[in-house]
Structure 1
Amino acid sequence: MHRSPLRPLAGLLLAALLALPALALPGAAAADEPTPAPAGRALPNNAGLGERISVYLSGWAPGTQLQAALCGDNAIGGSRACHLPSAVTGTTDPEGALTLQLVLDRPPRPCPCVVHVAPFSGQGTPIDIPVNVVGVRIGTPPAPTVTEPAALRLEGLRVEGGASLLRAFGLGGDARLVLTVANDGGEAGALPGLRYGFGAAAAASTLTDPGIVVPAGESREVVLEAPVPVAAIGAQRASVGWGDGSGLLVDAELTTYPWATLALLVSVPCAAWLITRARRRAAAAAPPAAPTPSAYPLPDVVYVEGLGGLLVNPDSLRTSRTLRRVAGRVTGDDLARLAAGGRVDRSP
């Protein structure tokens, strides 16, 4: 009987097809597993004031920054029931786990007490880990209230910057607009876009998105950088409002004057005038310069009685046209002729 060469190949293919479901089962089972919820435990869960406990956390997203604080009243009422000065923070590892060391300080509200763990950014669901704190009285926690949505409001605005060398010369510079935003609601709220402006007649036109989350019942500061206009003089107004144009508009002022430029405009002419005046006074007080002695102190022509004739200065022959014409010899007749307006010329 002839055996087909394709039969072994078909058998191998059938075995591979039968093995595929078995290989896919682990992956499918892993895909069906739910994402673990954030959880935590405190050891020891019974400790006194001033003692240190370890808080073990798991099930968080990798790289999440968490804050743990001891709270009274089962953390009902938010951060007002927690001892925030002793709160500790940390970042989860790639497995979503974190261990924190928390010192137990007296919370502002009585027990029952919990370790309240929440993402530091305000986004995410917090968890509460019950602990028994020896030395803290036990009271009756308030009844949980219906959580109100976030209610953000612009609480205040101030302008920082102080004295600036650039503004002193009228060259502008930068100002820091520090905006305080409060959340009067019961849930954390993300700060929406803001519009702000700065100048002599500022209009809130520059749009920015700070990307800040304000926890319930708390406030946050937002710092905005604004350029100071060149040659700004007097009060410069800063204004901030919601990005959509709604909400309360808050404003503040920064007074600036280019004092250095004004000082230069006054001091430079004054300095030039004082220097010129000092030079003139120095020149007036200086003694007159002595006359420079001449190699030939005699005049150009001198009558010498002993010689019975005129003595001519040789240097004058280079400067006097008349003496050049008489060849340096002047007689009495020559003088008479010259006095009568005539001319004497012996030049060759």
Structure 2
Amino acid sequence: MTVLAAVLALLVTTLVGAPAAGADKPSVRLSKSQAGTGGSITVTGAGWRPKTLLMMLICGQSAPSRGVIGGTNSCANADGRAVTTDAKGDFSKELPVAEPPEPCPCVVHVATVTGEKAEADAIFMVAGHSVEPLPEEESGARLSVLTDTRLDGSSGLLTSFGAPPSRTLVFTVGNVGTAAVKDPVFQVGTSHGVFAPQWEEQQWRGTIAPGKRARIELPVEVAAGAHGDYTVSLKYGGKMLAEQPWGVGRPWGVTLFWILLGVVVPAAVFRVGMAAVDRLRPRRSAGRGPRRRSPRLPQLTYRMPRLSASSAPGSRTTPTPNPTSTRPLPWFTPDSGPGNPAAGQLSAPHENSPTTPTRKGNT
């Protein structure tokens, strides 16, 4: 009984789980299957990843069975709308109707912008837009990507200073057709954000026989100074084969260069200006021209009487004899000095003495 119960439980789980797995596939529904330019339709989706950014576009030359043959270049990119899914992976948003650059058959193409690739298409007819049959599929040679693509390489020092970032797109393709493919020409496109990719044709040299595979490497490069989130797309024969996200780092060397330039240039201009001012400023020559002196106050000389030791107050000194008392006067002879007893007698002046008065008259 235990074994039978386990078998029944496994059978029920398998039967119930099959529809649930199909419900996880992204789907898109439209409120109208046809509308003219200037109108709008409501796009409703279910089964997408929760909290995922999606892009909605009206594309020409497309069919749900073959996808967008010409890539986003066949879509009305200017009139696209972005929408974010809710916690259950559902969304609903209005989309304006615009004529795509390619004729119908047309579809409303919904695809993820970032993360794991997922997309879904719904048939739509733009009223008044031209209609042309889709190009026939090639039945002989068909290439398909067998493994996940990757980008090899890294950024160097020159990339930090504005050199174009480059990588190598590596993937493996297999020939699922009945004819050999010789020297296939691939289209490699790079797109920034939600913008359309810029395509470039690159030829791989070699031959891939039916049922065989080949490892292919193609160079990829973006413009100098580019940074941000990019997407590398690969097409062959008008069919999208793979997409690979690429995060390009910011060139910090360029930012540092502009910061240094903003500091060095003003400093150099300032030094040149100061040198010019110093050269044009007049200078004084040494030893030429009168020198200006600051005015000085007249010097006043104060003559103070000399104070002798005897005149100082409180000083006690022995009086010295007057030297003139012992010195004879000029008109005295040595024998008539004050110490001579005959000092009282004055000698008669000499007749030739200048002190003797001269009398004029009769004798």
Q: TM-score, normalised by structure 2?
A: 0.47
**Bigger Rg, which one:** 2
Q: TM-score, normalised by structure 1?
A: 0.49
